Structure 1
Amino acid sequence: MQSETRVPTMWDLLFPVLDAVRRLGGTASNAQIDEAVIASERYSKAQLETVGSNGRELIPYRMAWARSYLKKAGLLESTERAVWTVTEKGNAIGNDEMLQLVKAVSDRSRGEEVQKGRSVSIVTVPDDSVDNVEQLAEYLSRWHRLVGESLLDQLLRQPPEFLERVIVDLLSAMGYSGSDGWSKTLGGRSDGGVDGVVIEDQLGMRKLYCQAKRYAKSRPIGPGDIRDFIGALDIKRRHEGVFVTTSRFTDEARQAAELSSKHISLIDGQYLSELMLRCDIAVASHSFVFKQADPEYFN
């Protein structure tokens, strides 16, 4: 029985799909195969309802790819549209041997594409992920992590007041300045222990103060920094504030913020880079349309 939360990969589904065709007398339609696999593997409702980035339910979609790869490996053949027949080789092969064969066929197909002079991007992903849409999603996720690390590196090379401007821009992009509000940096010797403020209304009645520390990863924020910020908020007569750093917060610093009577939001370097990407701060966005062959259409 499968885990109730983990959605099976295409590799997980290869043998169940092949075995389903065997059990159905050697020939079966897409719908019959899907029904037989779902019944035998007893997937949970959550698993069956999980939808991929292409808007389709993942398990049926991955079973379609499993049939396609089994066909490439010579274990299934499509006798008519949406109908599959197990081959002599498919009847005799075991699970381990089948996996090795399908992987070999997959690797060989990629190699042939390169020999034909076609542009092929090799994306390093775990062996249990072969779906092209998911490979692209994994690649983009890794790319965004690299961009996030680059953003932090560049922030560390800028003067401290640059980070203050980034934080004010970020809070405004997140909607804290409202539709009629405004924001500004307050850095300098007379900043009163805060580096920026977001004004949420035209009259300046609602204000959100922030503190920004441009520290290297090796220099974390401690509880003393948090207490200093709390004191600054006392002077400003405010109960809420945002403390941002390119570094990280120690456990004691987080505890100091949690135990305070004020509401202090902590944003460390990793979360800061994620928010900058999400709110398009200091990044450029590019749109692409990704297309791929639909195995269901050809069967």
Structure 2
Amino acid sequence: MNVPKYHEFFNPLLAAMHQLGGSASLVELDEEAVRQMQLPSEVTDVLHGDTGKTEVQYRLAWARTYLKKYGLITNSSRGVWALTAAGQTTRTVQSRKVQGAVRVQRQQAPTDTTSNEEVLDDSVSIDEQPKWEDHLRETVLALTPGGFERLCQRILRESGFIQVEVTGRSGDGGIDGHGIVRLAGLLSFPIIFQAKKYRGSVGAPEIRNFRGAMVGRADKGLFITTGNFTPAASAEATRDGAPPIDLIDGSALVTKLKELKLGVSTRMVEVTEVDEDWFNSL
């Protein structure tokens, strides 16, 4: 089975938006669209070059871009997608009609120099993306395996975990450490984590292997990676009847490092403006 063309995702994306109540995070939307199409892992795990994204994620981004330009969906600065008024009354579209409308828009805007990669971004243009995120990700990727495990240990401790230990023993099913989560100082439960320093996408097989290693040790797992997770991996992590596994991808990882101020500092820039109206009122 080949990876569907981007325009073949138009209607599954619309169906997913309606199924999810008219709004969804990017991850929720992609996962539901894949579920709507019943795509096997052999398709969803195909990588798009060396970008760290899968081919399905790349083509879903194109499909979202077209539906947005067509006026059926929109997205906020927080990455939440939602149906527009027109989208709320639209269940299906004709692919050729959408493609034709977007083509006309481009022809009517000859001065638009936006590149394909900028169009595919889900919130801001490439030029507007914070450069620190790429810098921080590359810095983390340059760590030794042991250094990355210790970084994850520090993140968990700073996040409220106690008794966090890194094991990292070979042949341990991918388990890199364990800790205890405390809730409101009253409840606590053990958790096992895996830290994977990786540029690509983590697939469903890695999630299944990790869950298998959890059996008899903990009922909750945490998988941390510098890469991302395929839709099949995300679905496997929350599969009914199986111990749940929380996922932290590269984007969430660098955001958490900034939030906890671990190796990241933020400087406030003072902006001074002259109020000419005030002077004119003298």
Q: How does the TM-score come out when normalised to structure 2? A: 0.47
TM-score calculated relative to the size of structure 1: 0.45
